Structures are given as structure tokens and as C-alpha cells.
């Protein structure tokens, strides 16, 4: 049975989550290239950067272009994870824009044309 993981940004956590166990997964624990690990950490850093700890309810991207760029990078990372992890993993993606978990490549690729 493949290991199921979800790519999802959350404040102050790694962006990979174990769907069959509780908690986030440190990217370096997976068979990923250093470049992919660096991209994941940068993507998470971008998300952490939108948080306003003095007023968390106002956390948001500076504008639509930044939100779209973040979503595109998430979709690109999802594709990279699928490629690098192979058949031993099922990788899902939580879309910030749609507010739901996506697993269908067609849904994700359609979003990539944002």
C-alpha cells in the first residue's frame, strides 16, 4: 500500500503531512533531491511570511499576483513530488485557492493555467 502524503502549507510546520498518521513530515526524511527539499522549504517560508502574528485574521498575500504565484508553485511542487517519490507514494495537494484537497492530476493541471 502506498504511503499517502499531502502537500499543504501551514504556519510554522513543514509543508508535507502524513495522511495515515498525525503530523507533518520533515522533507529530508523522504527520498527527495536537495533541490526539491529547498523548494519545499522556500514555499513554506513564503507562506510563513504572510502571517501577521499581531493580528492573525489579517494574514494574506500582498495581492492576487502573489497568491497565484504561490498556488502555481504548489502545483509545480506537487508534480515534482509525484515524479521523485514514484509509485510508493500517493501525493495529494491542498489548494489554498479552492480550500480543499485535490488528488486528480486534471484538477491540478487545470489550476496551473491560472
**What digits encode the pLDDT tens for the residues 42-73?**
999 999 999 999 998 999 999 999 999 999 99
**Residue 28: left if φ>0, alpha if ψ -120 to 50, beta else—which one?**
alpha
Strand partners, 77: none
Spatial distance between the Cα atoms of 4 and 9, rounded to a whole number of angstroms? 16
Domain ranges of the chain: 3-22+38-99
**Helix residue ranges, H only, 1-114:** 34-48, 64-85, 105-112
At a CB cut-off of 8 Å and minimum separation 6, what does 86 contact? none
pLDDT per residue as tens digits for the range 80-105: 999 999 999 999 999 988 888 888 76
| Beta-strand pair 89-95/24-25 | unpaired
Which residue's entry shows cell 517519490?
A: 85
pTM: 0.89
pLDDT digits over 18-32, tens only?
A: 999 989 999 999 999
Amino acid at each position: 500500500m502506498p504511503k499517502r502524503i499531502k502537500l499543504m502549507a501551514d504556519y510554522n510546520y513543514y509543508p508535507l503531512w502524513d495522511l495515515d498518521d498525525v503530523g507533518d513530515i520533515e522533507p529530508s526524511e523522504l527520498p527527495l533531491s536537495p533541490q526539491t527539499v529547498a523548494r519545499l522549504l522556500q514555499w513554506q517560508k513564503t507562506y510563513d511570511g504572510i502571517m501577521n502574528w499581531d493580528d492573525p485574521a489579517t494574514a494574506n498575500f500582498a495581492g492576487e499576483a502573489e497568491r497565484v504565484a504561490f498556488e502555481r508553485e504548489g502545483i509545480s511542487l506537487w508534480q515534482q513530488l509525484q515524479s521523485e517519490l514514484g509509485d510508493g507514494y500517493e501525493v495529494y495537494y491542498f489548494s489554498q485557492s479552492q480550500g480543499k484537497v485535490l488528488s486528480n492530476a486534471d484538477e491540478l493541471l487545470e489550476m496551473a493555467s491560472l
